[in-house]
Structure 1
Amino acid sequence: MDYVGNGHKFPSTKICLLFKSCFIFFCLFTILFNSKLAAGYAYGARNLASDTPSGFISIDCGANEDYMDNGILYKSDRDFVDTGINQPVSPNISRNLRPQLKNVRSFPEGRRNCYVLKPENGKDNTYLIRASFLYGNYDRKNTTPIFDLYLGSNLWWTVDWDNGYVETLYTPSTDYITVCLFNTSKGVPYISTLELRHLDNTIYRTPARALVTMQRLDIGGRSNLRYPADVYDRIWNPLNVDTLNSSVTNSSISQGNNDAYKIPDTMLRTAAKEQNASCSLIYFWETQSSSAQFYVYFHFAEIEKLVGKKRRLKVDLTGQRNATTNATLDYLKPLSLSLNGTPDNAGQLQFSISAAEGSDLPPLLNGFEIYAAKDMRNASTVPVEGTHLLFLSLLPKFLILFCVSDAMMGVKGEFKLIRNWEGDPCFPSELSWSGLTCSNSSASNILSINLSSSNLTGKIPASIANLREITSLDLSNNELTGEVPEFLVNLPNLRNLNLTSNKFTGSVPKALLQRAEAGSLILSVGENPDLCTSLKCPYNLKKYLALIIIACILAVLLPIVVFALVIYKRRRQRGISLISSASENLKREIEERLLKSKNRQVRYSEILLISDNLKTTIGEGGFGKVYYGTLSDKTQVAIKLLSASSRQGSNEFKAEAQILTIVHHRNLVSLIGYCDEAENKALIYEFMPNGNLRKHLSGNCRTKDFALEYMHFVKSSKQIAGLEYLHSGCKPPIIHRDMKTSNILLNERMQAKISDFGLSRVFANESDTHLSTCPAGTFGYVDPLIHLSGNFTKKSDVYSFGVVLFELVTGQPAIIKGEYNIHIVDWAKPFIEEGNIQNIVDPRLEDTAESCSVGKFVELALSCTLPTTAERPDMSDVVSQLIECLKMVQDKMPNMPQITSHRIEEFSYNSIGSESVFSPR
């Protein structure tokens, strides 16, 4: 045994007892106090929005900085790998590439180089892991490298292509995942991107821990699909078969919360089917192995509206053994099912989909996926029972499961070791980490660690305590500090411990010394000048006395500090209460001025009060941001702040704002006040809680109550005709100049009101004139004639209103996105001219739309958007025709509430004392 000591006696145990008493009291008090504090923090805590979808790790290998692409945050790989160099692909290739493929990280040194992924959900969760490779002649050699890709300690794929990706669904048994590139002497390994996506743990469940993606096809699709169409970022490739009938629907698929597969709506809206029920859909696939287990996932959705029938299918998977299942499809509801089996002796896998017995409808398929089960038996991590942790003998004992590789990753991180420590510590054996000896079993244990003379600093990592099978640990000739840890006592198989020539302090744990004396441990701890290696070490009274004094002082001061904090909090609350009372009084004064007085002007400080210092942003437009506010009686308001780009003079702004405060109509958003203070100009509107019409028309947001009741739809279009009041009920008339669905707001009763009328003048730039201004509208809604004349007229608003009517009846936006963007009017005209009006009607209205009124409605929308102003109707004519449409619907739907016509009352601006004659607005 190689240890030395001086044999001094311990001092009296009274000091120890005093120290323990003070320290335990301090710990108990701290735990109690912190529990209250933690509860307070928990009460006030809130989650912050992430820059990227939850459960996503997206790495651009070779990128120098992080960036957003298509709603996903791609991070540089500098925090995920320790080796390799960044290189751009050839400029001749990079022009049309996605950002992730313009660079690679190559690994010219070392046989194995690894990325370490640490997903936030940890082990025993299912992840989609995808590695992409685009050679791009990055090394200017024009020779595609060939190398192996490993997932953990298992071969994942041999990369021998110059452009492609490999993908696996993987359930790791550790909290981290390693992806390693192996140099096979056939070129320098490289990688373009590495992506991880957390999946719902209820899907793709198989006995295998890994499923390698073989195929994922969208039947009838026209282009690749991935995030955001697919929330899991699966990549769907299109497949079209000329001999099959294609089916497409514009209706949305009902994706319920119980559908964990979350197949993209776009994919399910296309399908292929056979000519008749006697034919089967058959798919052959040549595999490379006749012994591998394959899993096929079929995805269906009935996209044809069948009357009194349902499509019933029989699905067969043919190989060395046959598997069969049946399915019944419901209209617009997704259905996913799976079968598994092995290919036949020729390596061929086949599935067929046919009409079930008694069904006279041909088979249909929307998409499918094929996965190969991956053998993951080279598992190097060995679950072992962790030590019992004890905190001052006050906390309960915990049982923790650790893994050998987790422990070694901890050692690597603590000691900041580079070496060849990449990937799995023990597999493959020829690339096991230097300094380690592993057992020869398939699930390997680490038997010894030799890190002698490795320039190590710091303390011995606690993760070593998890290496339960270790027999030898050599950390000699380093710069390690701190005390020799007690957890070394709990390594049951440790036979050799060498800690010589370090800078340890304190004393060697008594149990280690006893094991050394008994001969069960070879202990070497010499050449540590400040380390006592005797069973009887001098007690450092000075050190512990200082700790005792500090603990006792804290034990006395802590209650005083807590008491002071309580007093401070109560006084502060009292002060806040007084301030709150004053604020409520001021709010009531503002309310009186806004709602009951003719003076509608408020100060900017009052704007800050009713908006809680502009705390909540509820919108943003061309004129500035919109904030939420409340008056003292809980009246909700929306505050539109003028952006810095608008510099209209104070007199002009005040005059125009006063005009708008006295323009009232049931279908116009009321302006109830304004602020005109130096650089701070704002308008205060009534609050519209249900947002704008565009939101309710688009996508899945179009609710049944709002969109599927055609009578409500027609009624809403009449409400929007509050534009007639601006044209005919105001003298001089007001021209809106920016009529669009996002400027049509909905109150709590879903009543439509027009907003932002007059803003083009109130928030005008100093370069504007009364008669001719730069077009203020929005692309897609602006009258094309404006670009020729530069003047807005009533008929300009009529054109914009016609576009809104087209949006209402079709559900499409003003500009329909696609390979070539098209205006909604240009898109609808060919159908109207051919008499196929039903082809443009929103499918969500098809059950309730009355054909005569739809025709009248479309005819009106078309007349509003005619090329010349002379051909377009006035808004008064538009309202009359809308009332006629409404009566036609009421005749067909007698249960609909009767809507009567309201005549517009005349209103003059002269009542505010302004003699100015304004040009049309």
Structure 2
Amino acid sequence: MAARSSLFLLCLATATAGVLQARAQPDSKGFISVDCGLPGKTSYIDDKTKISYASDDGFTDGGKHYNVSPEYIKPAVTARYYNVRSFPDGARNCYTLRSLVAGLKYLIRATFMYGNYDGLNKLPVSFDLHIGVNFWTVVNITDPIQPVNREAIVVVPDDSVQVCLVNTGAGTPFISGLDLRPLMNKLYPQVNATQGLLQLARLNFGPSDETSIRYPDDPHDRVWFPWFDAAKWNEISTTNRVQNIDNDLFEAPTAVMQTAVTPINASNNIDFFWNSQPQPNDPAPGYIAIFHFSELENLPNNASRQFYININGILFDDGFTPSFLYAEASYSSKPFVRHPQYNITINATANSTMPPLINAVEVYSVISTANIGTDSQDVSAIMTIKAKYQVKKNWMGDPCLPRNLAWDNLTCSYAISNPARITSLNLSKIGLSGEISSSFGNLKAIQYLDLSNNNLTGSIPNALSQLSSLTIFTGGEDDDGWLMVDNNDGAAGGRQRQRWRTVEGAARAVEGRRRGEQRDLTGNQLNGTIPPGLLKRIQDGFLNLRYGNNPNICTNGNSCQPPKNKSKLAIYIVVPIVLVLAIVSVMTLLYCLLRRKKQVPFFTYKGSMNNSVKPQNETMRYGPTNNGSRHNSSLRLENRRFTYNELEKITNKFQRVLGQGGFGKVYDGFLEDGTEVAVKVRTESSNQGDKEFLVEAQILTRIHHKNLVSMIGYCKDEKYMALVYEYMSEGTLQEHIAGKGNDGRYLTWKERLRIALESAQGLEYLHKGCNPPLIHRDVKGTNILLNTRLEAKIADFGLSKVFNPENGTHVSTNKLVGTPGYVDPEYQSTMQPTTKSDVYSFGVVLLELVTGKPAILRDPEPISIIHWAQQRLARGNIEGVVDASMHGDYDVNGLWKVADIARKCTALSSAHRPTMTDVVAQLQECLELEDKHQNNSTLEMEQNFGRIPSITGGPAAR
């Protein structure tokens, strides 16, 4: 048996110092190279690589720099290891690398050498590394002079990335150097948005010296360490250039590929192994290997070199023949079956006349990068606040994640399908000075904010009026540390002060009152008047602003608060209104009783020509008319009125249930002429009541579009409410996506495209075609119904809202509605649904059509389909996302286009989303692409196999 060699990890590099102005941005190659602990803003150029190394000033605001002990400064140790930055304070300390390209792959390398920098000779030292909010690896330092490298290849989701050292209680974290190198997205296809690679080894077989190969020989500045055992291997080499093949996925450099090893005994194998290195979150990591080969000898015609690769006795490659002077690789796309030790054997095939060879190998374990950081707008705002006020505390890294490292003095919300949001910020009594930053206004999800008892100066910024989610802006604590909340009691003519231990408790204290906002700026040095935006909210009753102990604020008094006579005026107006309403109510009740006695129907006919009907009690108020005047529009129903007894007959006593929603159950029924209908009956336990019933009835009487469900009639018979619709025989789109409709047959891609287009046309009509226009607010697969021809129609308008297009495309609400997984995050934070909220929900439906998966996936952990798809589409392989039930029967360009439409529709900012008109136009293009694809496929098959007989009743033959 051939001798075996252990795969050692060497971590040495050479550099000499020069002087250059510090560079905190990527250089012309996109490189960022940081010498950690280098004092001041100095930098130098490495003589060998010509790479410029900058000090870490500007990359981090924590830690202290030290020099290693003089006994460790030796010729073999490069200048980069002469100093370190140590972080004795804080659980997490981070470096921020900026000006990156979001979505690009980067190689990140951190280097460490202890060198007894602290004079304590205290080893071992162990701490964790994180990339952003994802765990990277453990750093274990056991030797004072042996450098340790940690390297990863990841996709960077934003234009910056943070590398964080986390104190785990096993010694003070420190770092010697930090490198970042951009990589083309085609390289290392195993890396994607949710998965990175942690390097175990990168070895160059053959060189007999100890020189590693890196930049400029490797344009990506990967470090290839030499590995040669003269007792077991022969070295072969060439001075000729070894070229990379077209679309090379790894681009091993020529300098590495110019050397290789073969066994001394030509009949022997090449054997080596590596041991698994446990991680805290993965005690037995799976590994990915990349074997690099190139034939360096110009073999005669009667000679051949072919070999097998075996890993732990399992065939890895069934016969590899290296090409002369071309670099090729045999690699794994997924981790191997987990073992404590990985034994590699490369042996010649029976047909080979030459022994096996190998030029280089790379070995990586897989790390997860699936965790998503805090909302980028929140991060930008809080970072600006941190910088302005020089807040130290533990404000390093991501504000909310990981949860155990979340910043002090703030709390976050953690939604399944959206990034974490900052919801509470308490900066009371921490010595803030200067003006109030307008960046507070960018914390859109914040609910509690406390800036009291500081040294803030200047005027109050109007930006604070933009915090629509803010419910409490509390003003500091009493001497016992209890939060103080004013509870104004107008009836009592005074103010009661209540004490609460937590912000949540304070929130509960005001929950019973109208959800107005309370903000307290007491105990500062503010001046000027209240901004108009805040003043309006005070006057409208949405804000209770406290600003005591600011001696220079609101010197004219009245400009800061509503007019003193407002309450009296309100009394004078309210009392007559109450009396009028009471009289009207009594008269209405008497009128209804009389009409019920005469058995007059709830809706009375106005004429026989159009069968229009008008309710006696229900009216709906719309916004301004075209000329600016306001009017009441009575509910007009151009449909048949059913009694409850008639509904019982139509549905055979509600025998067959078609479905169920928030309003109630939907039953199958037949009219007298045999027309099949769907009857939606409101149940007593329904969370939708008269209002939603009237809204949907009103809407369905005035919208007419081929892609909107039509209403045939209604029932309002005492306590019973029901709507009668046209029957949609094929049920909901959601059932078909899940394969539960049409006898379990899945929709073809063309059918899905047509359904998407028709649904989009229905929504476009709601937004632009009907008058006044509507926001649906509950777009989802179960609210898109299909008829016998699989034509799509939007249904369920009980949550829809009218908006006035002259005043924008949004409406203000005080209640969040919709279905989890489909709800627009911007609507969640502002409580203002817009037409773009429907666009967002429709984008989720598009992703369901593409993937065949639900809006929220729950295996193994809950994740939004948006993030699930984004993570996989980042790999550039649409097949990893598309619904396998379509069996590849689609035009891939059209599929990519639909995925891109969905991506744009689900953009976090509504400003970046298309309109439904844009979506309709793009989906029409996709349908044309699919038609062209099917025509070409049919023509090609006819040419190759003769005329294809037409087939009906199922998918087309392939």
TM-score after normalising by structure 2 = 0.45
More helix by share: 1
Report which structure shows greater RCO (CA 8 Å, sep ≥6): 1
Based on CA coordinates, which of the two structures has the bigger radius of gyration? 1
TM-score between the two structures when normalised by the length of structure 1: 0.46
